[in-house]
Amino acid sequence: MWLLNKSSPKQDNMSKNSSPQRKSFFIFADMKKLGLSLWLFLVCITLAAQRDSIALVCAPWQTDTIQQGIVLKRHHFVEPGLFAANQNICLLEIAPGAPVTFEFGYEPRRTTTSEIAQKHGALAAINGSFFDMDLHNPVCYLRIDSVEVGVNTPGNDPSTRKYYQYGAIVLDQDSLYLIKTESERLWERTQPYSNIMTSGPLLLKNGQREQYRTDRTFVTNRHPRSAVGIRPDGTILFFTVDGRIKESAGMSLEELTRTLEWLGCTEAINLDGGGSTTMYVYDYPENGIVNCPVDNGRFDHQGERAVSNILMIKTLKK
């Protein structure tokens, strides 16, 4: 009985090891390990971001002057690429004061970006906002020359809008700027703009990142992307990155936002992407398609999708 009740030396040691002081030591040690792991992770993320930003800015871009103040830049980033992936990027820079006007193009039945651009005599164009593949109509607000041709489809609450409708492009002849919308679904109807296209999410505004949902694969997964960005000096960027193929992975919205920041943008908005992503430049080979639209699943210029609307620039008539 005595042996059963008296603690053995081994039991005494175990008791000492499990003292509050000993437990605190192990907890502190574990916290130190966790802190070191987190620090190393953050360092790796920072170094990767620095590598990507340097690779982007210092890339040997293929550069073509389209006309005064309009420059097309293209580069195919291969291993290690950008964000540890191959990426094919096209970038159209429109300098402040360039002799051009901005316009929206729209067709009641889906038509390719190049066809709409050619119909309107555009110098260059990028696909526009979201639309219904079967019904052909825009699913985001669109007004052209004061005529409403599309409205925002409702969210779960019919009075509010979907998460990709919280930004808009406003055109005023030779000016283009981005605005943040209100949550009311038909708020645009109260606005005085003659030409407005709702899209989104809005990525950057006044140099600050906008909040967007992170519970949608549309946001978190890599896809082909189209976007518009604005630099502080007024330079406007039309941007595309191809995706869904081994030659170009595409980007998440977080990666797209970072890329536009590294390119100097303080304002930016996401457009329709996926198979719709298309950039057109007049009189270029491949019917003017300078990126690689992916609707055919190949890394070429033949996979252009029919869309509902586009954003284009036209030479200013003297």
Domain count, the chain: 2
- Shared domain for 134 and 209, answered yes or no, is yes
- Per-residue pLDDT at 246: 97
With a cut of 70, say whether residue 23 has pLDDT above it. Answer: no
pTM of the predicted model, to two decimals?
0.85
Q: Are residues 93 and 222 in the same domain?
A: yes
**Is residue 2 domain-resident?**
no
Which domain does 186 fall in, by range?
A: 61-315
pLDDT of residue 2: 32
Tens digit of pLDDT for each residue in 127-143?
999 999 999 999 999 99
Q: What is the pLDDT of residue 3?
A: 33
Mean pLDDT rounded to a whole number for the chain: 89
Q: How many whole angstroms separate alpha carbon 25 and alpha carbon 65?
A: 66
Each residue of 12-49: b (16+ CB within 10 Å) or e? eeeeeeeeeeeeeeeeeeeeeeeeeeeeeeeeeeeeee
In a domain, 243, yes or no: yes
Q: What is the mean pLDDT of residues 240-265?
A: 97
Both 137 and 261 in one domain: the answer is yes
Local confidence band at 155 (pLDDT 50, 70, 90 cut-offs): confident
User: Is the residue at 4 inside a domain?
Assistant: no
If you average pLDDT over residues 297-303, what whole number do you get? Answer: 97
At 174, is the pLDDT very low, low, confident or very high (cuts 50, 70, 90)?
confident
Q: Average pLDDT of 212-231?
A: 95
Proportion of the chain in helix, strand, coil states, percent, rounded to 5 = 25, 35, 35
Q: What is the mean pLDDT of residues 275-292?
A: 98
Please state which of the ranges 5-9, 123-127, 158-162, 236-240 shows the lowest mean pLDDT: 5-9
105 and 166 fall within a common domain: yes
Same domain as 160, residue 244:
yes
Is 214 within the bounds of a domain? yes
> Is residue 293 one of the residues assigned to a domain?
yes
